[in-house]
Structure 1
Amino acid sequence: MADLWIEWSHITKKYNSHKGSNSLKEKKSILGLLDFSATVRAGVTVILGPEGAGKSTLLRLTAATMLPDDGRITYGSREGGRFIWSRGSVVASDSTSLSDWRDKIAYLPTVPALRYDETVEETLLYYAQLRRVASPRKHAAECIARWGLAGWRKTPVSKLIGPVLKRYFLAECFVKSPNILLLDEPTRGLDPIGKQILWQEITRQPKDQIVLISTNNLAFAECADDLILLENGSCRRLGRRKYLTASVKEGTVEGWYKAMQTFSGLKIQEN
Structure 2
Amino acid sequence: MALLMWIEWAHVTKIYQSDMEYKEDHMENWARNIGLLDFSASLQSGVTVILGPKGSGKSTLLKLTATLMLPDDGRITFHTATGSYNWSTGSMMSSKATAEFGWLKKRIAFLPMLNQLHQDTTVELSLLHMAQIYCLTDPRKKSCEIMMRWGLTAYRQTPLHKLRGGILKRFVLAQSLLIRPIIWILDEPTKGLDPLGKKLLWEELKNRSHERITLIATHDMKLAECADNLMLLEAGSCRRLGKRSLLTAGVAEGTVAAWYQTMQVFSEMKNSFKM
1:103 maps to 106
2:139 maps to 136
What is the DSSP-based 3-state SS (H/G/I as helix, E as strand, rest coil) of the residue aligned with 2:18? strand
1:15-30 aligned within 5 A: 15-19=16-20, 28-29=29-30, 30=33
Q: Structure 1 residues 187 and 72, CA, compared in 2 at 3 Å: closer, same or farther?
A: same
* Matches of 1:131 and 1:251, distance apart in 2: 42
* Matches of 1:57 and 1:236, distance apart in 2: 16
What is the DSSP-based 3-state SS (H/G/I as helix, E as strand, rest coil) of the residue aligned with 2:7? strand
1:6 maps to 7
Match of 1:86 among 85, 88, 93: 88
Q: In the TM superposition, what whole-angstrom CA distance separates every residue of 1:104-153 from its partner, at most 9, and x where no partner exists?
A: 10001113773532111111122233333344322222211121111101
What is the DSSP-based 3-state SS (H/G/I as helix, E as strand, rest coil) of the residue aligned with 2:198? helix
Query: Does structure 1 retain, via aligned residues, the 8 Å contact 2:116–2:161?
Result: no
* Matches of 2:136 and 2:191, distance apart in 1: 28
2:219 maps to 216
What is the DSSP-based 3-state SS (H/G/I as helix, E as strand, rest coil) of the residue aligned with 1:219? helix
Answer yes or no: is 1:53 the counterpart of 2:56.
Answer: yes
Task: Report the aligned-residue RMSD.
Answer: 2.3
Q: Structure 1 residues 135 and 42, CA, compared in 2 at 3 Å: closer, same or farther?
A: farther
| TM-score, normalising length: structure 2 | 0.88
* Matches of 2:240 and 2:220, distance apart in 1: 18
1:180 maps to 183
* Matches of 2:142 and 2:245, distance apart in 1: 33
Query: Does structure 2 retain, via aligned residues, the 8 Å contact 1:84–1:92?
Result: no
Match of 1:250 among 253, 260, 272: 253
How far the C-alpha of 1:82 sits from its partner, in A, is 1.1
What is the DSSP-based 3-state SS (H/G/I as helix, E as strand, rest coil) of the residue aligned with 2:127? helix
Query: Does structure 2 retain, via aligned residues, the 8 Å contact 1:83–1:92?
Result: no
| TM-score, normalising length: structure 1 | 0.89
By percentage of residues, which structure has more strand?
Answer: 1
Q: What is the total number of aligned residue pairs between the two structures?
A: 260
Identity %: 50
Query: Does structure 1 retain, via aligned residues, the 8 Å contact 2:14–2:73?
Result: yes
* Matches of 2:225 and 2:133, distance apart in 1: 32
1:23 maps to none
* Matches of 2:227 and 2:144, distance apart in 1: 28
